[in-house]
């Protein structure tokens, strides 16, 4: 296994740790403990996001491109982002509502499962479908959005811990910020999914003919 593929596997191994740190508020009401957990999740998520860029660069720069990497790199991205999105349904924001609503996460997950299923069909025909440019932009914005949300939640925890007078202002505007991030992610997710299926419709057609 080359270095690029090892980074991909490493990204997958970080996911349980990130999820665990994001869920610390379910284990304790201690704000210091929760803040430390959020910060740890943020650092690990950023590290995982950097490995996403690094493994792709190494694969292209040093001819490390393999079928394993073509398949597992986008899958690792999906596992990383989906895990964070599911956590956001459970984490409560300033208005005591989920950071992201469940219906939006279901839509995002449906797109990811659809694309993953399409890749599986292609493999049956000996074809490996790589992520296209729009899909890569979608992933980048998802990673940026998730990092921003975790950072914002960490900031809010810090303001609560220090009883800052800025907390009411942050609580007033934070839900709007989360909504804007979600809107961008949803648009790119749905659009990239539609384009992806349209580009690879022949895979579905060929599969139907084989049956």
- Is residue 56 a contact partner of residue 121, using CB atoms and an 8 Å limit? no
Domain that holds residue 50: 3-210
At 167, list the tokens: 């907390």
User: Which pTM value belongs to this model?
Assistant: 0.88
- Res. 115 pLDDT band, cuts 50 70 90: confident
The DSSP letter of residue 92 is B
Amino acid 114: pLDDT: 87
Amino acid 128: pLDDT: 66
Beta bridge partners of 92: 98
Q: How many helices (H) and strands (E) does the chain have?
A: 7, 0
The CATH number covering residue 205 comes to 1.20.120
Mean pLDDT of 175-194: 94
- Is residue 25 a contact partner of residue 153, using CB atoms and an 8 Å limit? no
The domain tally of the chain equals 1
């Amino acid at each position: 296994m080359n270095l690029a593929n090892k980074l991909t596997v490493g990204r997958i191994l970080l996911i349980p740790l990130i999820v665990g740190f994001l869920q610390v508020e379910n284990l304790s009401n201690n704000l210091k403990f929760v803040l430390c957990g959020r910060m740890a999740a943020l650092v690990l998520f950023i590290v995982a996001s950097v490995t996403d860029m690094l493994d792709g660069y190494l694969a292209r720069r040093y001819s490390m491109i393999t079928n394993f990497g073509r398949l597992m790199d986008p899958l690792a991205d999906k596992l990383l982002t989906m895990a964070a999105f599911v956590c956001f349904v459970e984490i409560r924001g300033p208005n005591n509502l989920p950071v992201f609503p469940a219906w939006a996460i279901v839509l995002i997950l449906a797109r990811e499962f659809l694309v993953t299923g399409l890749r599986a069909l292609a493999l049956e025909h000996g074809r490996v479908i790589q992520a296209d440019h729009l899909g890569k932009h979608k992933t980048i914005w998802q990673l940026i959005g998730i990092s921003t949300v975790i950072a914002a939640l960490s900031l809010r925890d810090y303001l609560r811990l220090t009883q800052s007078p800025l907390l009411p202002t942050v609580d007033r505007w934070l839900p709007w910020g989360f909504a804007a991030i979600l809107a961008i992610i949803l648009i790119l997710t749905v659009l990239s999914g539609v384009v992806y299926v349209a580009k690879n419709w022949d895979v579905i057609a060929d599969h139907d003919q084989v049956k």
